[in-house]
């Protein structure tokens, strides 16, 4: 008698599926509560991307305008298409008296970046991270070349060079 | 007093030209009107499908062109009109070119049988339902020819699947219709609707009518080539199935005809089960053209159920498709016809 129970079970499961999708439909039709579509140019002021969105590479700075980058160039080496250039220099460390590398400019070519994230994984001191800004439109490609460390910033104390 | 603008137009034309020319003019006018209905229906239903699909999937759908995105499909159609008509070099050119017209002509012919209201009914013959099912069967030929003439393996597989699917499920649609014809006692569409003044046929026929309705909905989904029965197109397997090689307006014909067929199958469901243009409990039966409103509302409801199917159920495999038809729907249908006949004979209908 599995013939008839198959029919009844089949109908039941189909109706269960229809109840689920019908619930989605009516919720979204009347309230638009769960609609995830972003109407981009219209909500440009309020749109916030989710935490793990890969918008661009940024360098983290604290409130004293200090970053963690010690110019080790591991991110530059990790980058498969040369989007990162690091200009470093050496100076005498006042504490130890030894020569130490420090960062002058962390140059990031957004126009070449594929957002693969290898640089961020390579960084041993978590100096760079993903930013959520996605609005990168410019009229000149040179404007997409960015210096990630803020002007006047210096390395945080306690980061080994 | 019945406000009949059609009589007014008829008399206006009689004043302008002799009687036999009036007849031809009216035929042309009606044909043009139905072509307009065809195009508007197709475009509107494509828009509706996209909007409804969007809400099922937590999206918004087309909402930029015109109010609520209503003109999105018009823009799409204009794009398709402006595109180049391409084709394969080794295609059977004659069949390849004629195939879309099979689909579109049969859809248009079937549309003429649909009563939009008591007043708006272009072609009412005593074998209306029979004519409707026969004509819509011819439409399959268009899909089959397209699959064959394209000279493309995906199209051919799509066309072959059409053959299998249509032959199988036409049987179920036909027998579900026969079940209701046993109850109604006539094939003329206007009479079938008139009979339902005392109660819609799904109420008059209760249990067998509900079973017939369920079978009709399942087989109707298969007839209009919609998911879960869209093996014919099966985007993930066959490219676009039978219309892989079609472009521009030829593709648009298939696209529009598919949605007009959806409207047709829904209209037949409404005529057979839900009282056609009649209002519920006869509340507005005295107002002229109110039938149009009720008919459209009911048809949109049935279309919504079809769309609900589409965005819920995954596609069948070809063996499952055939098992469902030949082992489940057909035996149930046969028993159902006998049940309905017995009920009519014993006077158990409501």
pLDDT on residue B277 = 84
B311: nearest CB among A21, A29, A32: A21
- Give CA separation, B142 vs B69, B95, B124, in Å: 31, 9, 25
Encoded tokens for B307: 């769309």
Domain boundaries, position B330: 88-346
Identify whether residues A20 and A63 lie together within a single domain. Answer: no
Q: Which residues of B19-45 are buried (b: 16+ CB within 10 A; e: fewer)?
A: eeebeeeeeeeeeeebeebbeebbbbb
- Residue B275 is assigned to a structural domain of this protein: yes
Query: Residue B159 falls within a domain, yes or no?
Result: yes
Q: What percent of chain B has pLDDT over 70?
A: 98
CB contact under 8 A, B56 and A21: yes
Q: pLDDT for B187-214, tens place per residue?
A: 988 888 888 888 888 888 888 899 999 9
pLDDT at B53 over 70: yes
Task: Give the C-alpha separation, A135 to A56, whole Å.
Answer: 10
C-beta separation of A154 from A66 below 8 A: yes
How far is B106 from B108, CA to CA, in rounded Å?
Answer: 5
Burial degree of B136 (CB within 10 A; 0-12, 13-18, 19+): buried
CB atoms within 10 A of CB A152: 6
The answer to whether residue A104 is domain-embedded is: yes
Q: Are residues A133 and A99 in the same domain?
A: yes
Task: Find all residues with CB under 8 Å of B216, minimum gap 6, and list them.
Answer: B172, B173, B176, B177, B268, B269, B272, B273
* Residue B301 confidence (pLDDT): 92
3-state DSSP assignment of residue A89: strand
B7 and chain A in contact, CB less than 8 A: no
Average pLDDT of the segment spanning A141-148? 89
Please state, in angstroms and rounded to a whole number, the distance separating the CA atoms of residues B110 and B123: 10
Q: Answer for the pair B236, B182: CB distance below 8 angstroms, yes or no.
A: no
Six-digit token string for A67? 């970053």
Give residues with Cβ within 8 angstroms of B19, minimum separation 6: none
Residue B40: inside a domain, yes or no? no
What local confidence, expressed as pLDDT, does residue B84 receive?
84
Q: Could you say which residues from 289 to 308 on chain B have a Cβ atom under 8 Å away from some Cβ of chain A?
A: 308
**pLDDT given for residue B318 in this prediction:** 84
Helices (H) and strands (E) in chain B, counts: 14, 0
**Distance of alpha carbon B255 from alpha carbon B257, whole angstroms:** 6
The answer to whether position A6 is within a domain reads yes
State the pLDDT at residue B4.
65
**Total domain count, chain A:** 2
- pLDDT exceeds 90 at position B338: yes
Find which of A21, A38, A40 to mutate to test the B interface (most B CBs within 10 Å of its CB): A21
pLDDT in tens, A114-126: 999 899 999 998 8
- Closest by Cβ to A17, choosing from B55, B59, B312: B312
Residues A97 and A144 in one domain: yes
In order, the DSSP letters of A133-144 are ------SSGGGG
Q: How confident is the model at residue B2 (pLDDT cuts 50, 70, 90)?
A: very low
In this structure, the answer to whether residues A104 and A66 fall within a common structural domain is: yes
Domain count, chain B: 1
Give dist(CA B2, CA A161) in Å, integer: 95
CA distance B326 to B320: 10
Tens of pLDDT along B91-110? 888 888 888 888 888 988 88
Alpha carbon A24 to its chain centroid, in Å, reads: 31
Does position B315 have pLDDT exceeding 80, yes or no? yes
The DSSP annotation for B283-306 comes to TTTTSTTHHHHHHHHHHHHHHHHH
Kindly state whether residue B268 falls inside one of the protein's structural domains.
Answer: yes
With bands split at pLDDT 50, 70 and 90, how would you rate the model's confidence at B336?
very high
Burial group, residue B10, by CB count within 10 angstroms (0-12, 13-18, 19+): middle
pLDDT band at A160 (very low <50, low <70, confident <90, very high): low
User: Does position B116 have pLDDT exceeding 90, yes or no?
Assistant: no
Q: Indicate which of A9, A20, A25, A33 best probes the interface with B, i.e. most B CBs within 10 Å of its own CB.
A: A25
**Residues B315-337: what's their mean pLDDT?**
89
- Helices and strands (H, E) in chain A, number of each type: 3, 7
Q: What is the pLDDT of residues A38-84, one digit of tens each?
A: 888 888 888 888 888 888 899 988 888 888 888 888 999 999 999 99
A93 pLDDT exceeds 80? Answer: no
Q: Please state, for a pLDDT cut of 70, what percent of chain A lies above it.
A: 98
**Same-domain pairing of A24 and A81:** no
Query: Contact B272/B340 with Cβ under 8 angstroms?
Result: no
Interface TM-score (ipTM) > 0.90: no
Whether residue B110 lies inside any domain: the answer is yes
The predicted pLDDT at position B25 comes to 84
Tell me what pLDDT residue B161 has: 84
pLDDT for B1 = 36
- Tell me which residues of chain A have a C-beta less than 8 Å from any C-beta of chain B: 7, 14, 17-18, 20-22, 24-25, 28-29, 32, 34-37, 39
Q: What angle do CA B233, B238, B242 make, to 5 degrees?
A: 50
Find the CATH number of the domain harbouring A88: 3.30.70.3270
B62 located within any domain: no
Same domain, A60 and A106: yes
Q: Look up the domain containing A104 and give its range.
A: 56-155
Nearest residue to B130 via CA among B75, B95, B178, B196: B178
């Amino acid at each position: 008698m599995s013939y008839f129970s198959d029919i009844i079970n089949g109908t039941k499961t189909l109706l269960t599926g229809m109840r689920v999708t019908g619930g989605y439909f009516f919720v979204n039709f009347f309230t638009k509560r769960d609609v995830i579509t972003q109407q981009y140019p219209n909500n440009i002021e309020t749109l916030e991307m989710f935490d793990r969105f890969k918008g661009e590479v940024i360098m983290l700075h604290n409130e004293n305008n200090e970053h963690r980058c010690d110019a080790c160039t591991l991110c530059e080496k990790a980058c498969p298409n040369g989007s990162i250039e690091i200009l470093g220099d050496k100076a005498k460390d006042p504490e130890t008296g030894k020569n130490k590398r420090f960062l002058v400019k962390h140059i990031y070519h957004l126009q070449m970046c594929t957002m693969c994230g290898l640089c961020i994984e390579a960084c041993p001191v978590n100096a760079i991270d993903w930013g959520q800004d996605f609005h990168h439109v410019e009229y000149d490609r040179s404007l997409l070349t960015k210096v990630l460390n803020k002007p006047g910033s210096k390395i945080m104390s306690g980061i080994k060079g | 007093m019945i406000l009949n603008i059609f009589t007014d137009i008829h008399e206006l034309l009689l004043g302008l030209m002799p009687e036999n020319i009036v007849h031809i003019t009216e035929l042309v006018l009606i044909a043009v009107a139905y072509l307009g209905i065809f195009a508007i229906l197709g475009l509107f239903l494509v828009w509706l499908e996209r909007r409804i699909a969007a809400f099922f999937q937590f999206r918004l759908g087309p909402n930029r062109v015109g109010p609520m995105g209503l003109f999105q499909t018009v823009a799409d159609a204009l794009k398709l009109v402006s595109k180049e008509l391409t084709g394969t070099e080794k295609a059977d050119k004659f069949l390849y070119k004629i195939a879309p017209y099979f689909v579109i002509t049969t859809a248009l012919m079937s549309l003429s049988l649909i009563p939009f209201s008591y007043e708006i009914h272009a072609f009412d013959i005593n074998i209306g339902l029979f004519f409707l099912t026969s004509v819509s069967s011819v439409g399959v030929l268009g899909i089959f020819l397209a699959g064959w003439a394209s000279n493309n393996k995906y199209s051919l597989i799509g066309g072959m699947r059409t053959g299998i699917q249509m032959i199988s499920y036409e049987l179920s649609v036909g027998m579900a219709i026969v079940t209701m014809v046993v109850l109604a006692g006539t094939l003329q569409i206007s009479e079938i609707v008139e009979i339902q003044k005392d109660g819609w046929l799904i109420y008059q026929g209760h249990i067998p009518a509900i079973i017939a309705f369920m079978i009709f909905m399942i087989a109707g989904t298969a007839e209009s080539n919609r998911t879960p029965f869209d093996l014919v197109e099966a985007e993930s397997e066959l490219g676009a199935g039978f219309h892989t090689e079609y472009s521009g307006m030829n593709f648009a014909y298939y696209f529009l005809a598919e949605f007009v067929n959806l409207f047709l199958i829904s209209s037949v469901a409404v005529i057979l089960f839900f009282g056609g243009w009649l209002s519920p409990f006869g509340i507005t039966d005295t107002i002229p053209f109110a039938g149009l409103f009720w008919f459209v509302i009911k048809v949109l409801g049935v279309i919504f159920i079809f769309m609900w199917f589409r965005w819920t159920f995954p596609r069948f495999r070809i063996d499952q498709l055939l098992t469902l038809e030949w082992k489940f729907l057909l035996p149930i249908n046969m028993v159902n016809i006998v049940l309905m006949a017995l009920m009519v004979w014993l006077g158990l209908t409501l």
